[in-house]
Amino acid sequence: MNQVLAGMRVLDFGRYISGPWCAALLGDLGAEVIRVERREGGEDRGVNPLSENGDGAMFLQCNRNKLSMTLDPQSFEGKEIKRKLVESADIVVLNLPDKTLRMLELDYETLAAIKPSIIFTNGTAYGNGGPYSDSVGYDGVGQVMSGAIYRSGTPEAPMRSAAAYVDFGTSLALAVGTLAAVIHRERTGEGQKVEGSLLGTALMMSNIMLMEQAVCKSDRVAIGNRSYVGAPSDLYRSKDGWVLVQIIGQPQFKRWCRMMGEERWLSDCRFASDELRAKNGDVLNGRMAEWCLSRTNAEAVAALGALSIPASPMLSPQQALEDPHIQAMGFFKSMDYPGLPTPAPIMDTPFLLSRTPGTIRTRAPLVGEHTDQILQQLGYDNEMMRSLREKNVI
């Protein structure tokens, strides 16, 4: 099967999510991805441990389709290996502040001097150019600084999302930028720097409410799972769980009123628009809550769905794994890994291409599993590799 990045080599110096997931997506699209990590393995290998050896779920997801080699890039011999790797590569992926990149001699200027056509992709916490640029941070940095957490939960108990959506969103943005840089290089032969940040991604996702604040000075605060842009809209308790219902627009509101037997509300000035319905949502949400409480999740979703009103049950992680639609769509690929008691469901490429689809071809690598293979490709023989090991270079 032809894949769009077949024949390209990616060096992945990233850790945790934003860099590694970007590199994994490039691997899904056919690139050969080499994860370069220290001799004892990266610190991101053990997050959410699954195996008897402590290998983590985050690592298994973000590092499929990769080869692993160990390297001390600051040693004399390690610098030479790094140079040869860069010469052999098309793309380098990282997620480190510029100050750290310069210290490790992994900055764009240093790598471009080795290979001018290199595409250098780097994700940082805050972006480069501001007073926080040299600071480090995780997904929560974006959530808390973009206004998202301020508007989540309640004013007394702001709530961070358990899903690392800022990290994964940054990975997707970096992957898009990298693919654009690949197209540019195909046309011109020029490499370039591709940059993204957790804060930039989070601000993009929060842009709508930031615009509203800038223009209207609305000073909105968190209101739980209710909505400022329509009603009824909330998570409602049912007989056997919780149901999310989100009604936006007059056509949906009309259908809902008729189903509820509340046609009188169609001429009620309190509910004449989405904004007014949100402002006066206590009545509408109360009626929706009463209706859901007398039904099971399945009954509520079926009745609302029959009228094309958006409604979904709240699923636990186990229920998500067992959901018939999720299973039918094949979102996950079951993959084994040394030490796992059972195969793990690894999320497949999150977009579909009809002619050149992404594929998961190999599991995440063990520490240094492919070091010898990669060094042999660079011209190192067994005696040379033995010497490198004795010197703790690999």
pLDDT of residue 53: 85
pLDDT tens-place string over residues 329-369: 999 999 999 999 999 999 999 999 999 999 999 999 999 99
pLDDT of residue 93: 98
pLDDT tens-place string over residues 108-118: 999 999 999 99
Percent over 90 (pLDDT), the chain: 98
Of how many residues is the chain composed? 394
pLDDT at 135 over 80: yes
pLDDT tens-place string over residues 35-77: 999 999 999 999 999 988 899 999 999 999 999 999 999 999 9
147-176 per-residue burial string, b: 16 or more CB within 10 A, e: under 16: bbbbbbeeeeebeeeeebbbbbbbbbbbbe
pLDDT at 251 over 90: yes
Prediction pTM value: 0.94
Torsion 79-81-83-86 (CA) sign = negative
Nearest to 348 by CA among 65, 33, 141: 65
Confidence of residue 2 (pLDDT cuts 50, 70, 90): confident
CATH topology of domain 242-313: formyl-coa transferase, domain 3 (3.30.1540)
Percent over 70 (pLDDT), the chain: 100
pLDDT tens-place string over residues 194-244: 999 999 999 999 999 999 999 999 999 999 999 999 999 999 999 999 999
| Longest distance between any two alpha carbons in the chain, whole Å | 86
- Domains of the chain by residue range: 9-205+328-391, 242-313
pLDDT of residue 1: 58
Helix (H, G, I), strand (E, B), or coil: what is residue 155? coil
The answer to whether 259 and 232 have CB atoms below 8 angstroms apart is: no
pLDDT tens-place string over residues 276-316: 999 999 999 999 999 999 999 999 999 999 999 999 999 99
pLDDT at 258 over 70: yes
Q: Which CATH number fits domain 9-205+328-391: 1.10.287.610, 3.40.190.290, 3.40.50.10540, 3.90.960.10?
A: 3.40.50.10540
pLDDT at 172 over 70: yes
- At residue 301, φ and ψ (nearest 5 deg) are -65, -40
